[in-house]
Structure 1
Amino acid sequence: MLELRFLWFKLVWVMILWLVAVDCQSTHPTEVTALRLIRESFIDPENSLTNWRRGDPCVSNWTGVLCFNTTRDDNYLHVRELQLLNLNLSGTLSPALGRLSYMEILDVMWNQITGSIPKEIGELTNLRLLLLNGNELTGSLPEEIGYLPNLDRIQIDQNHISGPIPKSFANLNKTMHFHMNNNSLSGPIPSELSKLPLLVHLLLDNNNLSGPLPPELSELPQLLILQLDNNHFDGVIPPSYGNMFQLLKLSLRNCTLQGPIPDLSRIPKLAYIDLSNNNLNGSIPDMKLSDDITTIDLSRNQLTGSIPPSFSGLPNLQRLSLFNNSLNGSVPSNIWQNRTFNATEQLTLDMQNNNISGVSGSLILPPNVTLSLQGNPACSDASMTGFCQSPIALVSHLQSIPSNSTENCQVSCPPNYEYAPGSPAPCFCAAPLLIGYRLKSPGFSDFLAYFYSFEVYLTSGLKIKHFQLDLTHEWEKGPRLRMHLKIFPEYTVPGSNLFNESEVLRIRSLFTQWEIPDSEIFGPYELLNFTLLDPYRDIGPTPSSSSSGISKGAVAGIVIGAVFGAVLLSAFSSLYILKLHRKKYSAVSKRRRVSMASLKIEGVKSFTYEEMKRATNNFDVGNEVGQGGYGKVYKGVFTNRTVVAIKRAEEGSLQGEKEFLTEIQLLSRLHHRNLVSLLGFCDEEGEQMLVYEFMSNGTLRDHLSEKYKESLSFAMRVRIALGSAKGILYLHSEADPPIFHRDIKATNILLDSQLVAKVADFGLSRLAPVADMEGVVPGHVSTVVKGTPGYLDPEYFLTHKLTDKSDVYSLGVVFLELLTGMHPITHGKNIVREVNIAYRSGMIFSVIDAKMGSYPSECVEKFVTLALKCCQEDTDERPSMAEVVRELENIWHMMPESESRTSDYIVTESGKNVSSDQSSSSTTKNPYVSSDISGSDLVSGVVPSIAPR
């Protein structure tokens, strides 16, 4: 009985303390309620927000909640910052965020948060930093954000945000940084953005933006960086862009731009130009560029004429890329002559695949200079042999410049301590701060030349000594420069091998509040992580330093009231505990449900079953456009008249849950004109459906068979091959991380209304291997063999080792289909073997598709040679996908003008030939084509995978 009374007394005392804690809260009640709702909307697998369930947010130091140090006019504390960087949170952003009306910084970077951006964020009139990048957010940008009067920085990059850029963003008169890259934003760039008086960084690369580039952007008075790579713009680069007098970097890579290069000579401090992989034509203007220029990339265009003399005498030039154009003349040697290089400076000149005849002036290059002339007439000259090799790319992986050596230190440091390599004190063991940091848009191609300048810049911004910083770095896609920073405490007296808490918080706040000023050459940065291992772990991610401001008298009154109420509370304590357990169980169940939903969504639009029914007229048979092992494909039309292809899995189909999720996860973050676009999915009513852009010209297999009356010309087939190869090259080299497709075949190559090839069906795809702890990247992925017979890489089939060369093999089979019209396997005969036999016997033209019409025989031979190289049994003998693209581009440029430029026609959905100019003035009708091998005699192949006819 005594023990029972003691337990009862303990319970009452705990309840009293709980009441005291609750009633002592000094954070505004509205904000306390809002924070609890925000907590409920998150899924917190690592329990980072456990202390959000106890006490007062500002007084009890809730993780990530920073408050003002003194109470405001209403005698309450208010939340100033929400710092939830890299806590592995998922779930959604609660609309309750809009109730934190005093908040200045919202930071949820680098989590896995899904759902849309709540429009209620537009109510945060004090917000300065909106940091949502590195999540799985979907939906469109709320117009309400455009009315935040104090917003300095908006970072939504690396999400899945879709829809247009709201015109209301033109009202953000204090915003300096627009970082919206790596999303799915669509539509034109609003010309109204030109009204922004303080905008310095406009990063919109890797989206689906279209329309013409607004000439009005040249009116932005403070713009330093314009980065719009990998979008789908129309027309030319506006000449007015030559009037951006503050501009430091202009990057318009792979934007489908046409026309001439504008004169950029009036931009006094321009350091970086990338206009590569467009359709720019004409000659390169002879413009006097800034002495600050480090990078000029005009590769993969249709430029003609000679290399302008103005490219000479540029003292800081690191890279000049002009490859894959039609430039002629010679390379002026004064590009590198009369220039003094220090030990860290490099200059790469890539002139491959042009019509360059040689080098004017001296042929002696300094050791710091690399010149490549491969694929030019100059290589026929024996004196040029040394220049006819591919250049070594300037890519540094986890490099650092060592400081003082610690090799002679005899004693090992304790765990989480290490020798500070730059310390004046030898063998100084200290505990560093570990920081992930990235330059988002650097103004150079080679970092080593700026290594020491960067150290000075960063240590000055952090107000630490130069020797306290140690870093390694690696280039990432973008290009962006990722760094791994270690910041060591300064040695002052023995035992000073730790930062104190205030110094840790000071350094962290400099990063999280963007108080380190931007540099012209280094550009904007982002914080990826701020890792606190032992002995700093107890400091916590972002503890608050607020005080409560509650008087002792108030506390005494609350205690008395609590004692008075304890009797009543004791009567209900059992019920309360029971209710608490039920609530906890309900919360766990809710988190599980949300977690399952987030796994399925992965950042793409979720359609309802009713929307699918309406779009397809209740899956009417008249809307069927294809069928495969998974089920059927329907043509659908949404209420906004958007035409789509809907892939509907049937019960018991080959399309399993894993393949369904894989395709959603992969396609939601892949953006390339030669990859089919995933618009959304439906996963309800027991149905699994994927929604794609509608490809009105069906599959490549359709066009090689008798389904279309008009046959593909040779030029069209080369163009389709090149587009397919570029799509796969993007998967291998531009996707992050890279991807192996694993099921490339003619039925998975779709053609749009312009006969642009797009690779489809990623249900079997696998992520490429990543580097291990020592930075070594495995050469393959070990996996169960999957794919389509006839396209399977023989070595993958035997060893179960999947590599990028497995995709090369499959694409090589597709090339052979394009050339012959045959299926991969016909009546037991393998296409690779049959073409090889014909090739070796000198009868290759006997297997070329007769329906192709006239063709240039030299180009066909080169195409056959390339296809057979791709299909070599030994993977090392196969070319890389980059080499495949390069060779196809060479074949395309070899073709007569009438064949490669005017013989293409557009096939409508009905198969009607809209326009055609089948000139054969310089082609050869081959008399050896066998009429015994034609599409009509072949066994029908695999049906379309996800595409309509």
Structure 2
Amino acid sequence: MGCCQSCFFKLPISDDNKNNRREQEQRWENHHPQQQQQQHVRTKHSSQSTNGTETTGGHGGGGGVPSFTEFSFTDLRAATNNFSPEFIVSESGEKAPNVVYKGRLQNQNISNNRSWIAVKKFTKLAWPDPKQFAEEAWGVGKLRHKRVANLIGYCCDGDERLLVAEYMPNDTLSKHLFHWENQTIEWAMRLRVALYITEALDYCSSEGRPLYHDLNAYRVLFDENGDPRLSCFGLMKNSMDGKSYSTNLAYTPPEYLRNGRVTPESVIFSFGTVLLDLLSGKHIPPSHALDMIRGKNILLLMDSHLEGNFSTEEATVVFDLASRCLQYDPGERPNTKDLVTTLAPLQNKPDVLSYVMLGIPKHEEAPPTPQHPLSPMGDACSRMDLTAIHQILVMTHYKDDEGTNELSFQEWTQQMKDMLEARKRGDVAFRDKDFKTAVECYSQVAMLQLRVVKPG
């Protein structure tokens, strides 16, 4: 899931799309004035949790998570290079019913230059009612926590249904646990993963979102610092019809097989299977694992790659917790607070950074690109105003501005050559409708004009 370095223009929304969206919004306001007011409030405050304690979204000392918003389909199509297969990051690729892409937006609202996003594209008619989809998305979008890969937006254009979340660049727990190449996840990191995910589940439960669909190793993602986060996509169903479990879940809770309903206790059962994954390094049927735990054969269940590098006492506590999560009777399973209380004391390397334990390089944030005011030509190109561009070209004839610096003849000659080359590149780019390159070249010409003085 490494990030490519390409960047895309944010394409303008057509007048037809704008008119359609205005009509949809007006109909919504006419029929739901109270909910419209609530949505306005949520837009303003969506970067804050209701308890006000988690606003950074796990970005350390950096800025906060972008406010929840609605994206146009045009924006997301451009960000994902027209939903290119090369941008797919979901484990099942194009075979999955709902595909997840990475994308990049030119969006000044995304702090610290974090313009990478994850886009989940639902199948056609998965959510036929746009109002219901929007309401579900808003419900998840108000959540903000450093243990969650937060939802930052959605798209509801026509019959298109998409969710937009923070992008996690360091793969999934499934990849690190089952398909590792250089090193397996060390024991202390596995304990950290278990704790962080329970903290995410406990937060969601406290905020009135106790249901999580398809909780498994694919839903645990690693951010730029190597910290594990719970994907927000599992907080929404895959479709409006209520079918909550997909083929990604190897072992479904027994009560779901009986009545087809997901409950908070079902989430605890699924977390128990994740604990088994962390302990064993492989998929083990819960019934088989329970038999071995009861027979005191827990060492046979442990990942052989951890041999000699884990605490038997700590492993016993985690196995006991897993067995409680996997109880057939939902009422006998622990709640999320019990999970946190049990796992928190087991953390034995609190000062070691996650990316070190994962054995991945530290993510270095690229410095933000300096913002310089555009020249009149650059501004006209950025607005794609062909009339203004033509007028500037006719009026100026690329006349040099007066400067204040005296240069030698050689320096003046070289700068004139540079300016001529930049001008030529800008003209070629403009003819090819490569407006980004044209802006850069014409801005370079303008900067050189300010510096050049003809030698006396």
TM-score, normalised to structure 2, is 0.61
Q: Counterpart in 2 of 1:643?
A: 116
CA distance in 2, matches of 1:656, 1:709: 45
Amino acid at match of 2:46: N
- The answer to whether 1:870 aligns with 2:325 is yes
1:870 Cα deviation after fit:
0.7
In structure 1, the residue corresponding to 2:36 is in which secondary structure?
coil
CA distance in 1 between counterparts of 2:243 and 2:29 reads 36
Return the alpha-carbon distance in structure 2 between the equivalents of residues 787 and 233 of structure 1: 33
**1:375-413 CA distance string (max 9 Å, x none):** xxxxxxxxxxxxxxxxxxxxxxxxxxxxxxxxxxxxxxx
Q: 1:184 aligns with which of 47, 70, 75?
A: 47
Q: CA deviation at 1:707?
A: 4.6
**Measured at CA, do residues 637 and 877 of structure 1 come closer, stay the same or move farther in structure 2, by a change above 3 Å?**
same
Residue identity opposite 1:619 in structure 2:
F
How large is the Cα RMSD of the aligned pairs? 3.6
C-alpha contact 2:324 2:333 (8 A) present in aligned 1: yes
**How many residue pairs were aligned?**
319
Partner Cα distance (2:85, 2:71) in 1: 21
Shift of 1:807: 1.1
Q: Name 1:289's counterpart in structure 2.
A: none
Aligned to 1:817: 277
Instruction: Give the conservation status (yes or no) of the 8 Å contact 2:224–2:362.
Output: no
Aligned amino acid, residue 637 of structure 1: R
User: 1:636 touches 1:643 (CA, 8 Å); kept in 2?
Assistant: yes
Distance 1:875 1:613, change over 3 A: closer
2:406 corresponds in structure 1 to: none
**Structure whose CA Rg is larger:** 1
> Could you say what secondary structure the match of 1:647 adopts?
strand
- Name the residue aligned to 1:755: 226
Displacement after TM superposition at 1:900 (Å): 5.0
The 1:752–1:655 alpha-carbon spacing in structure 2 relative to 1, beyond 3 Å, is farther
Change in CA separation of 1:846 and 1:903 when aligned onto 2, cut-off 3 Å: farther
Quick one: which amino acid aligns to residue 719 of structure 1?
A: R
- What is the CA-CA distance between 1:661 and the residue it aligns to? 4.3
Within 5 Å, give how 1:454-493 maps onto structure 2: none
Cross-structure match for 1:619: 83
From 283, 290, 297, the equivalent of 1:843 is 297
Give the AA of the match of 2:96: G
Structure 2: runs of 5+ lacking an equivalent:
1-25, 108-112, 364-456
Cross-structure match for 1:112: 35
Aligned twin of 1:891:
346
Pairwise CA distance, 1:849: 1.3
Relative distance call for 1:765 and 1:812 in structure 2 (3 A) is farther
Return the structure number with greater helix share. 2
Partners of 1:754 and 1:907 within 8 A in 2: no
1:112 deviates by: 1.7
Q: Which of 168, 171, 191 is residue 695 of structure 1 equivalent to? A: 168
Aligned counterpart, 1:80:
none
Q: Which has the higher contact order (CA 8 A, sep 6+)?
A: 2
Structure with more strand by fraction = 1
Q: Is the 8 Å Cα contact of residues 186 and 357 (structure 2) preserved in structure 1?
A: no
Give 3-state SS (helix, strand or coil) of 2:35's partner: coil
2:152 & 2:319 partners in 1: Cα distance?
A: 36
Superposed counterparts of 1:788-827, under 5 Å: 788=246, 789-800=249-260, 802-823=262-283
Letter in 1 for 2:333: R
Q: Please tell me the residue identity of whatever aligns with 1:136.
A: Q
Q: Which residue of 1 aligns with 2:245?
A: 787
Deviation for aligned residue 1:787: 1.7
- Does structure 2 conserve the Cα–Cα contact (< 8 Å) formed by 1:681 and 1:688? yes
Q: Residue 273 of structure 2 contacts residue 322 of structure 2 at CA under 8 Å; is this kept in 1?
A: yes
The CA deviation string for residues 521-543 of structure 1, in whole angstroms up to 9 with x for no partner, is: xxxxxxxxxxxxxxxxxxxxxxx
Q: Per-residue deviation at 1:136?
A: 0.7
- CA deviation digits over 1:849-898, x for unaligned, max 9? 12345111110111111111111111222111111110001222xx4xxx
Distance 1:614 1:232, change over 3 A: closer
Q: For residues 725 and 716 of structure 1, what CA distance do their matches in structure 2 show?
A: 14
Seen in structure 2, the aligned counterparts of structure 1 residues 43 and 651 have a Cα distance that, compared at 3 Å, is closer
CA–CA distance in 2 between the matches of 1:646 and 1:907?
Answer: 28
Equivalent position amino acid for 1:807 in 2:
V
The amino acid of 1:739's aligned partner reads: P
Aligned to 1:834: 288
Q: Does 1:160 pair with 2:43?
A: yes
Question: How far apart are the structure 1 equivalents of 2:46 and 2:122?
Answer: 28
Q: Which runs of 4+ in 1 moved over 6 A?
A: none
Question: Secondary structure in 2 aligned to 1:902?
Answer: coil
The corresponding residue for 2:11 is none
Residues 776-799 of structure 1 deviation map (CA, whole Å, 9 limit, x = unaligned): xxxxxxx96632454422124324
> What is the letter of the counterpart of residue 208 of structure 1?
T
Determine if the alignment matches structure 1 residue 678 to structure 2 residue 142. no
Question: Deviation digits for residues 265-311 of structure 1, max 9, x if unmatched?
Answer: xxxxxxxxxxxxxxxxxxxxxxxxxxxxxxxxxxxxxxxxxxxxxxx
1:633 matched to 2:100? yes
SS in 2 for 1:184: coil
Q: Indicate if the aligned counterparts of 1:663 and 1:763 stay in contact, CA closer than 8 A.
A: yes
Residues 674 and 726 in structure 1, CA contact (< 8 A), matched pair in contact too = yes
Q: How does 1:26-45 map to 2 (within 5 A)?
A: 43-45=29-31
Which whole-Å CA distance do the structure 1 matches of 2:223 and 2:59 have between them? 15
Matched, 1:902 2:352: yes
* Cα distance per residue 1:653-684 (max 9 Å; x no partner): x6776885465133212122222211212233
Q: Tell me the distance in 2 between the aligned counterparts of 1:42 and 1:682.
A: 16
Confirm or deny: 8 A CA contact 1:749 1:759 kept in the other structure.
yes
1:460-609 map, 5 Å: 604-609=68-73
Aligned-partner SS, 2:204: helix
Q: Would you say 1:136 and 2:39 are equivalent positions? A: yes
- How many Å separate the matches in 2 of 1:649 and 1:694? 18
Cα pair 2:79 2:103 within 8 Å, conserved: yes
| Residue correspondence of structure 1 range 306-345 to structure 2 within 5 A | none
Q: Helix, strand or coil: the match of 2:278?
A: helix
Q: 1:851 corresponds to which letter in structure 2?
A: H
Q: What residue number does 1:208 align with?
A: 55
Contact 1:907 1:913 in 2 (8 A): no
What SS does the aligned partner of 2:42 have? coil
Q: Are 1:615 and 1:638, in contact at CA under 8 Å, matched by a contact in 2?
A: yes
- For the Cα contact (< 8 Å) 1:662–1:765, is it kept in 2? no
TM-score (norm 1): 0.31
SS in 2 for 1:113: helix
Corresponding residue number in structure 2 for 1:516: none
